[in-house]
Structure 1
C-alpha cells in the first residue's frame, strides 16, 4: 500500500509500505478520509516522541475490506469510523470506566501506524458503524467527541452565557454542542476576524477580537458587568488560558480543552479570581468513557446522522495522500487561513 511516512519532524515521504493481513480480532479499513489534528502540527515543530518511521493520522474513516475470523460486530463493506485510542483495560482507571485517563494506552497515528495511508488494520473493538454518513464527516467524529467530552462534563445550564476562546475546529464544534445544550448566548473570542465571522455564521451572538477591543470591558458590556457563566478554552494559548480567569462570573465554571505548549504564568488578579470568585476549573483530556468508547462517540454519531451538527462547513482544504507534506507545510507555515484540513488516501 501507499502511505505518507514520517521520517523526522515535518519530513514526509510518499512511499510503499507493507499491508499486513488481519489478525483474528482485527479489521482492515480502506481509508477514505483522514483529518489533520492541531496536535499533529505542534508535534512537527517541537519534538516527535514516538518511534520513526511513523504513519500519522488518528481522525479517519473508511470501509471494511477484510476482517478476522473472530470479528462479529461489522461486516465487509460496512462504513466505519476508527477509534484511535487503545486502552490497556487493566489499570485502575480502565477498570473504573474512566478510559481517557488510562495509564498505559496505545494510540493509532503515533504509537502505531495511522490513517495517512491507503489501509489500516484495527482491532474490531476500535471501529463503529456510521450508516450512510459521509466519510469526511465521519473523519471529524473524534474531534467532535473531544468537544462533547468537555461540554458534557462542564454541564452548562439552560440559559447560561458562555465564552469560547479559540474558534478553530474544536472551538467551533464546542459552540455547536453548547447550543444543543441550551446555552442562551455564546461569545466567541479569537484574534482572527475571519474565524470570528465563521463563528457568527455558526450562531454565536457576540464576537470579540482582543487585539482590537478590551476583552474584559467587552465581556462586562455583554453580561451587565457580571461575566460569563461558562468559559471554554480551546486555543491552547498561555494568554487565553489566563484570560478565562478574568472574564468568568462569581461561581462560574472554566473548562480547559486546549493543550498547554508553554508555561502559564498567572497575574495576581487572575489567580485571586479563582478563590475570591469561587471559580470551578476543570480539565478535559481525550473523549472516552464507559462503555468504551463512550457516549461522546455514540452521541456524536447520532447527532450527525440527524443533521444536528455542521461539519462540512468547517473543512477548508483537501489533499490527496501524496501531497501530505504540502498539507502540513500549509498549516505549519500558515501560508493561508485554514479550517479543518483533510487527507484523502483513496477515491470512491
Structure 2
C-alpha cells in the first residue's frame, strides 16, 4: 500500500507500507479523495502547532468502506463516507458535556496521528458519516465546511445582523456561506481583490472590503456607523487576529476560527469599552457534519467552483509546492485516488 509521508518540513516521500487491519469497533476504508487544508500546508512548512514529524497528513477525506462490523449507524461495505478526524477520549469534561471537538486529549488524524494520504486506513466506525447522494469530491470537502459551520454556530448569528468574515481562504469562505445560510448580512474582508470577487459570487458576500485600503472607515459606513455585531477571523494570522477587535460593535462578539502558532495581544481598554465577547472555535461536531451534508445535498453550496485544482495521488508531491504560492490561485486542491 502506498502512503505519502511528510518526513520533515518541506519534504514528502512516497513509501510502501503494510495494509492496515481493522480492530474491533473500526472500519477499513479505501481513500478516494483528499482535500488539502491550510493545516496540511502549515505542517509541510513547519508552522503547525501540536505537530511532530514524520507524519502522514490528510484529514479532509472521502472514502469507501471496505470492511466494517455491526455499528450503530447501519454503515456497510461499499458505502461512501466522510471521516470525522477528531478522535476524542470520551471521558474528559469536554467529552462528558458533548463538546468532543475540544477534548482535553484530542488527537486529530493527519496532525497528532497519521492521516489519510494513503490508499487505505482504519477509522473508528463511529467517526464515519454516510454521504449517500454526494460525489467523492463533495464528500472530501465536508470537513472543511464543517469548520465554518461550527464557527457560525459558536457565533450564534441572528437573522439580519452584520457578520464580518476576515480571510477569504477555504475556511473563511465556508464561514461566509454558513453565515449567509443563517441569515446574516456578510461582509468579506481580505487583501486579495480576486478572492473578494470570488466571495461576492460564491458565498455570496453582501459586501467586500480590501484590508489594504481603509477597512475601518468602509466597514463603519456599510453598517451605518454601528460596526458588525459579530466578527469571525479565519486568517490564522496574529496581526489580523489582534486588529480584529477594532471592527467589533459595542456589545458584539469576536470569534477566532483560525489558529496561529504564537501569542496574540490586544488593547484592554478597546476590549472593555465594548463589553465584547471573545470566543474560540475549534474543529467541529457530528451535528456540524450532518448540517453540511444536508446543505450540500439540498443544493445550497456550489462545490464545483470551490475545487480549483486537482491531481492524482502519484503526482501530488510534485504539485504540492505550487499550492503554497498565492499566484497559483488555489482555493481548494483535491488529490484523487
TM over 0.5: yes
Q: Distance in 1 between matches of 2:51 and 2:172?
A: 27
CA contact (8 A) 1:59 1:141 kept: yes
How far the C-alpha of 1:335 sits from its partner, in A, is: 5.3
Indicate whether 1:306 and 2:298 are aligned.
Answer: yes
Q: Which runs of 5+ in 1 are unaligned?
A: 289-293
**Greater RCO (Cα-Cα under 8 Å, separation 6 or more):** 1
How many residues align? The count is 334
Q: Distance in 1 between matches of 2:298 and 2:3?
A: 34
Alignment RMSD: 1.8
Secondary structure of the 2:65 match is: strand
Q: Distance in 2 between matches of 1:80 and 1:241?
A: 34
Greater Cα offset, 325-334 or 52-61: 325-334
Give the match for residue 232 of structure 1.
232
Give the match for residue 6 of structure 1.
6
How far the C-alpha of 1:151 sits from its partner, in A, is: 0.6
How far the C-alpha of 1:51 sits from its partner, in A, is: 5.3
Q: 1:246 to 1:111 in 2, by over 3 A?
A: closer
CA contact (8 A) 2:43 2:51 kept: no
Indicate whether 1:206 and 2:198 are aligned.
Answer: no
How far the C-alpha of 1:342 sits from its partner, in A, is: 0.9
Indicate whether 1:27 and 2:24 are aligned.
Answer: no
Q: 1:265 to 1:123 in 2, by over 3 A?
A: closer
Give the match for residue 291 of structure 1.
none
How far the C-alpha of 1:207 sits from its partner, in A, is: 0.9
CA contact (8 A) 1:251 1:277 kept: yes
Give the match for residue 99 of structure 1.
100
How far the C-alpha of 1:52 sits from its partner, in A, is: 4.2
Give the match for residue 183 of structure 2.
182
How far the C-alpha of 1:280 sits from its partner, in A, is: 1.4
| Residues 1-348 of structure 1: pairs in structure 2 closer than 5 A | 1-46=1-46, 50=51, 52-67=53-68, 69-71=69-71, 73-183=74-184, 185-202=185-202, 203-211=204-212, 213-266=213-266, 268=267, 271-288=268-285, 294-334=286-326, 336-344=328-336, 346=337
Secondary structure of the 1:330 match is: helix
Q: Distance in 1 between matches of 2:322 and 2:162?
A: 35
Secondary structure of the 1:97 match is: coil
CA contact (8 A) 1:10 1:325 kept: no
Q: Distance in 2 between matches of 1:334 and 1:196?
A: 14
Secondary structure of the 2:251 match is: strand
CA contact (8 A) 2:62 2:82 kept: yes
Q: Distance in 2 between matches of 1:35 and 1:177?
A: 19
How far the C-alpha of 1:2 sits from its partner, in A, is: 1.3
Q: Distance in 2 between matches of 1:300 and 1:120?
A: 24
Deviations 1:6-57 (A, max 9, x none): 2111211122111122223221111111111101111222267655442110
Q: Distance in 1 between matches of 2:93 and 2:161?
A: 35
CA contact (8 A) 1:10 1:328 kept: no
Q: Distance in 1 between matches of 2:119 and 2:224?
A: 54
Q: Distance in 2 between matches of 1:336 and 1:51?
A: 28
Greater Cα offset, 277-286 or 69-78: 69-78
Deviations 1:241-275 (A, max 9, x none): 12321122111111110112333343x4xx32211
Q: Distance in 1 between matches of 2:280 and 2:71?
A: 36
Q: Which runs of 5+ in 2 are unaligned?
A: none
Q: Distance in 1 between matches of 2:159 and 2:201?
A: 22
Q: 1:239 to 1:112 in 2, by over 3 A?
A: closer
